[in-house]
Structure 1
Amino acid sequence: MQSTETAAQAGRWIGRGEALARLGVKAQTLYAYVSRGRIAARPDPDDPRRSLYAVSDIVRLSGEEPPAGDIGQWLPPPEESDAPDIEIRSSVSTSDGRRLFYRGMDAVQLAETATLEDVARRMWDARAGNPFAEVRPRVGATPGHSARGRLFSALARRAEEAAELKLRSPESLRIECARVLDEAVDAVAGPGPRLFLHQRLARAWKVREPDAHLVRRALVLAADNGLDAPALAARAAAAGGASLAGAAFAGLATVAGTGTLIDLAKASDWVVAVRRQAVDAARRAHEAGALSGFGDPAWPGGDPRAAALLAVADLPQDLARALREGEELTGRRPAFALALVAVARRLELPRDAAADLLLIGRLAGLLAHALDQITNGSPIRARLRYVGPEPGAN
């Protein structure tokens, strides 16, 4: 029968004796490594009075070559006092693998009738009042040569202005969220009548009134994507003391940097090519491995948001046929990015409007994550472990 220590080593843990031998140090040095976070330790499940130590950390510090299969990392259990908090609680949205829910409500169902303001109020848990009622238009233009540049400028300005504000009541925080979202839409759409947010964008883009519902639906469906990297960035910034605008800006910058906007651009290029050359372009793109916009690992059965948006888009025949052809060629359904692009082309919006729709919609959800983190979130106690050269090393 294997000893406890041998069994532990067969996994990713070794006992104190072997750890000391492999490191060539005294026990006090080993304990110092553990206390400084350089070596992970955990109680021996067979004898809680003893500790086991992570082989991967021992290998790194000793300069050994790791044995095959022994390269894993272990996060200390959350009950240890110096352990990072590896669970982030969110009440904003969730998914069951087939549907996306905003605070328990199906996002696709909400998109049937809800405005972005309605969804924002739901995600911000603003049940008692309407924070948008307190919002007044801002005088003065927002600098920037593109809609995206103006959007980011508006967020940066709001973040700077709110840096010293001590808004801590949930009501005042929700009003601040409404102001941030309102100014962001104004930055993209420009000044005008105080219509619903989607109507202001539709007016700026000269969308026919019967088609404005597509802008509304796109914004609602884009509002959140679960606890992804942008949401985590917004929450981390909020937990670190950033204002709501600053935290949302961190999340939106992450959206722009995760490849999402690149996917949108590729899907847009493909749609333009298909409309010019019919479905032959789809076949050539597929053969070259460059057919973009179909399939999403997060939605193995197809993104319900894309399906819902395309179902009511009333696409022209050439574009609808190209989407069907692409789906047949790849065996995958259109992703949400492609659905946004298809709707933007259907409405003859500016070239980057699909990305603008995504960013504005996501802003409402990122504000929700920042607000949720400030008011209800668990502390984010991540620990940065230094693994560079020893201090003073050449």
Structure 2
Amino acid sequence: MKNGLEDVIAAETQLSDVDGEAGRLIIRGVSLDHLVADGTYEGVAALLLDGLMEKSFDEAELGDWLAQARTRIFGHIKAADAALLALPPVDAMRALIARLPDGEDFDTALSLLAAPAVFLPAILRKQRGKRPIAPDASLSQAADILRMLTGKLPTREQTSALDTYLVTISDHGLNASTFASRVIASTQAGLTSSVLAAVSALKGPLHGGAPGPVLDMLDAIGTAENAYSWLGEALDRGERLMGFGHRIYRVRDPRADALKGALKPLISTGQVNSARSALAEAVEVAALAILKARKPNRPLDVNVEFYTALLLEALGFPREAFTGVFAIGRTVGWLAHAREQALDGRLIRPRSVYIGPLPAAA
């Protein structure tokens, strides 16, 4: 028995490969660095879903259908009453997703790809007393998300940055939420059920809830001069440094470099607070030096959460919404895994080892 199913192979997949020793992520045969070079959300979605649905399509066709799906989905926002809006954003988003039909077809998949992209900006606006903004079918998914969030057309750099984020986190092996999606799909419950299970797993702080605390850490450090002392004192207290270390990667998380690269155009064009970016650079340098000195036998490097926090903050998302934004990008991976499991797998039913008391002899 391996606690946490460590190193247990539970599925064969053609969707993604995470090489923790080499620091490499491959999605459907394409390395992450090539995907993010000029990639879009629509492109990676077409790549991941290729051959898994009942119809074939290319990136442009998927983009058109997805834009239409966003428009259809917007009507569900009317169900966001006061009780729902009192919930955290990811919980409110999950509640609206639960209204969608639970099918296995391509139309269901399109609705589920569109739903978090439409619901999260609308929920955030309504929670702040603002009117939700209807989707614009002429825009890409990334551009429309930002427009529905802020009420303004995003810049080219902002759209590209969000596209990079959505591509980067689209799929990542058999993580907790993806495994949850496959377990539900193995029962033939439907794609909506698979996505709801995955969102429920994602919201746990040990999976998708860590980017926000990266900003809390930066706020507490305050200035670059405080970085070494603050980080050292945090380690003395036995605290984890948010944004560093990963269960799989033994070297630097390749997604961190992709997101750091996506921030550069925003920094160079003055769309990111320069003091914030300088502080983050100083904290990264200080943290890596301290971790190397104090934990020389543990491979602790920057992970995806560190630059996710900085990028999403720069794009205008509040930190309490970061898990919901993650769900926008990862839903396509959940759907692809659910379809792969439904088409080629069987009911997932592992065994347990009983360690409780035995009945007394007769």
TM range (shorter): 0.7 to 0.9
Superimposed CA distance per residue, residues 295-353 of structure 1 (whole angstroms, 9 cap, x where no aligned partner) = 22411111001012112312533332332232233234321011100212333432234
> 1:372-391 counterparts in 2 under 5 A?
372-384=340-352, 388=356
Query: Which ranges in structure 2 are unaligned for 5 or more consecutive residues?
Result: 3-7, 123-133, 268-273, 293-299
Higher helix share: 2
- Equivalent pair of 1:88/1:380 in contact (CA under 8 Å): no
Q: Find 1:196's aligned residue among 112, 118, 140.
A: 140
Pairing 1:327–2:288 present = yes
CA 1:175–1:286: 2 relative to 1, 3 Å = farther
Aligned to 1:371: 339
Output the TM-score relative to the length of structure 1: 0.68
Q: Name the CA shift for 1:217/1:89 in 2 (closer, same or farther; >3 Å).
A: same
Residue matched to 2:188: 241
In percent, how many aligned pairs have the same letter? Answer: 23
- Report what 2:210 is aligned to: 263
Inter-partner Cα distance in structure 2 for 1:350 and 1:309: 18
Q: CA deviation at 1:387?
A: 5.1
Give the counterpart of 1:211 among 155, 158, 161.
Answer: 158
**1:225 lines up with 2:168 in the alignment:** no
* Cα distance, 1:369–1:284 mapped onto 2, change above 3 Å: same
- Is 2:289 aligned against 1:345? no
Aligned residue identity for 1:100 = L
Q: Could you say what secondary structure the match of 2:229 adopts? A: helix
Q: Is 2:17–2:25's contact at 8 Å kept on the other side of the alignment?
A: yes
**Residue in structure 2 matched with residue 303 of structure 1 by the alignment:** 253
**Do residues 288 (structure 1) and 239 (structure 2) align?**
no
Q: Is the 8 A contact 1:273 1:281 kept in 2?
A: no
Separation in 2 of the partners of 1:86 and 1:333? 25
Q: Give the direction of change, closer, same or farther, for the CA distance of 1:335–1:184 in structure 2 (3 Å limit).
A: same
Amino acid at match of 2:109: C
User: Could you tell me which amino acid in structure 1 is paired with residue 232 of structure 2?
Assistant: H
Higher relative CO (CA 8 A, sep ≥ 6), structure 1 or 2? 2
Aligned positions, number: 300
Instruction: Report runs of 4+ in structure 1 exceeding 6 Å deviation.
Output: none
| Aligned match for 2:330, one of 341, 344, 362 | 362
Q: Give the SS at the match of 1:296.
A: coil
Partner secondary structure for residue 237 of structure 1: helix
How far is 1:392 from its partner?
10
Q: Between 246-255 and 188-197, report the one with greater CA deviation.
A: 188-197
1:154 to 69, 86, 96: 96
Q: Deviations over 1:118-171 (max 9, x none)?
A: 21121112583145544432224152425323321232112xx32xx5x4xxxx
Amino acid at match of 2:234: A
Q: Is the 8 A contact 2:201 2:207 kept in 1?
A: no
Distance in 2 between residues matched to 1:273 and 1:379, nearest whole Å: 47
Q: Which residue matches 2:12?
A: 89
From 249, 274, 278, give the equivalent of 2:224.
278
Between stretches 219-228 and 121-130, larger displacement belongs to 121-130
Structure 1 counterpart of 2:26, which letter? F
1:312 aligns with 2:262: yes
Aligned twin of 1:48: none
The one-letter code matched in structure 2 to 1:177 is: A
Q: 2:50 aligns with which of 114, 125, 129?
A: 125
Aligned partners of 1:131 and 1:311: how far apart in 2?
Answer: 27
Separation of aligned partners in 1, 2:169 and 2:179: 17
Structure 1 unmatched ranges of 5 or more: 1-71, 74-84, 168-172
Matched position secondary structure for 1:94: strand
Q: Deviations over 1:161-220 (max 9, x none)?
A: 32xx5x4xxxxx233212111022110123221222211222234354432211111111
* 1:218–1:357 contact (8 Å) kept in structure 2: no
